[in-house]
Structure 1
Amino acid sequence: MDEHRIGLKPIRRSMWAPTGQPLTCPVEPGYEWLYVYAFVNPESGESLFWLIPVVNKQAYAAVMAAFAQKVGAGADHRVLVVQDGAGFHVPPDVGHPEGIQTVTLPPYSPELQPAERLWELTDVPIANRAFKSIKEVEAALSDRCVWLEGQPDLVTRHTLFHWWPLLAN
């Protein structure tokens, strides 16, 4: 599980340009933000995304509860969530939803987080583009996230590290 901040500030990526012609990219920087919360099972490629306007303890708790419900976590179905040590990854007073257990990665180790590799996939429709409103960004991202949820092979290729512990069949 990880979060990614997206906004009106452009995301730049390398791109091709015809020889001898200058490369131009539109820029209309703004400072409105949207956060992508993502969960991924690296082995199966299953992924779930939520687009939320804030990142804080309340949003984290709401997304974690929605995730638990979506995957059927409970007394008979335990789910292990690997996450970074962000300060808002603290469950509310009532704790995590039933069936959810978390493991926190060491500080400053994004290379260990499989969900961190999702961002290069989610950013495709918004890279090198300028948007006039955060609603336009949200529309582009929501379409992309829905599409990615149906692409488990692509997600696995990006998130399944060679050292990731696989489930015994």
Structure 2
Amino acid sequence: MGEHTTLEIAEIAGCAKSTASACIKAYRNGGIDALLATHHKPGREPSLNGTAISELLEGLEQGRWKRIKEIRKWLADEHSVGLSSRGVHCWLEKLGVSLKVPRKSHAKNDEGQSVRFKEGLARKLAGLGVDTVKPFRLWVVDEHRYGLISTLRRCWMLRGIRPPVPYQTKCQRGYVSGGLEVMTGRSEFLYSPTVSLHLSLEFLRQISRSDPDADRVVVWDEVGFHQKKQLAGLPDNIHLVALPPYSQELNPIEQLWD
């Protein structure tokens, strides 16, 4: 004792001078026990308990809420917790939640069918009778409609004058058939003015010609202009697997259209 000033002790310990003074005073009055004793009051209890947090995480995983005010209402109704929008936002950040654009899901989507399709896909592929000697390719296929219609934009003009500007009222649109091979990343596309059974078959032939020595399984939906397995003209190395109705979220190529 007496070798250093309070300021020197604070610099050595890496703390403020007031903190060093408080520690020295505590040591002189009560020794090591007083120095190690906790004097500050505990913080306030968290606003959400374990049950509310687990239910919140479960609801977020299911996409139950789209806006913070919906979460606020749920917390108030189900757990009697009154949080501000900022408070909910802080909890979402603490739980590692981020703002994302959801994937589209059809209103008629049957979640049970989607789950059964995913669980049974491997068995379905094994039962197609694919030649195990040939290379195997798994394709996902879908069509996308794109269009263009003219819109009016701002233009320079004299004050007080609003002249008429002609614009085109007809919509110009087309279709693109797209296929992605999930194992190699290969892609094939076919642009057409419309969709039909003939054009869908032509696109399957295009996929078939891209690697003639391989067997292919094509996964797509059951829209009316998609070929069924029994139709004539289907290449021998093409095997079709139909998605459940209204379940476009099961097709990875949907993300490409986005």
Normalising to structure 1: TM-score of the pair?
0.53
Structure 1: distance between partners of 2:180 and 2:169:
30
Partner of 2:93: none
How many residues are paired up?
101
Aligned partner letter, 2:144 = H
* 1:28 shift after superposition: 5.9
Percent identity over the alignment is: 34
In structure 1, stretches of 5+ residues that fail to align are 11-26, 121-169
Among candidates 208, 220, 224, match of residue 83 of structure 1: 220
Residues in 2 aligned to 1:60 and 1:82: alpha-carbon distance in whole angstroms: 13
- Structure ID, larger Rg: 2
The SS at the match of 1:114 is: coil
**Bigger RCO of structures 1 and 2 (CA < 8 A, at least 6 apart):** 1
How many Å apart are 1:37 and its aligned residue? 0.6
Secondary structure at the aligned position of 2:202 is classed as helix
Is the contact made by 1:8 and 1:29 (CA closer than 8 Å) also made in structure 2? no
Code of the aligned partner of 2:227: V
Distance 1:32 1:104, change over 3 A: same
For 2:196 and 2:217, the matched residues in 1 are separated by 21
Quote the offset at 1:65 in angstroms.
Answer: 1.1
Change (3 A) 1:9 1:111: farther
Shift of 1:98: 1.4
CA apart distance, 1:83:
0.3
Distance 2:240 2:177 in 1: 15
Instruction: Output the CA distance in 1 between the equivalents of 2:221 and 2:237.
Output: 19
Alpha-carbon contact 1:34-1:51 (below 8 Å) kept: yes
Give the Å deviation of 1:43: 3.1
- The Cα offsets for residues 116-136 of structure 1, whole Å up to 9 and x where unpaired, read as 11112xxxxxxxxxxxxxxxx
Structure 2 gaps, min length 5: 1-140, 151-166
- Distance (whole Å) between structure 2 residues aligned to residue 86 and residue 46 of structure 1: 24
Deviation of 1:95 after TM superposition, in Å, equals 4.2
Q: CA deviation at 1:100?
A: 0.1
Cα distance change on mapping 1:54 and 1:84 into 2, 3 Å: same
Task: Give the drift of 1:71.
Answer: 2.4
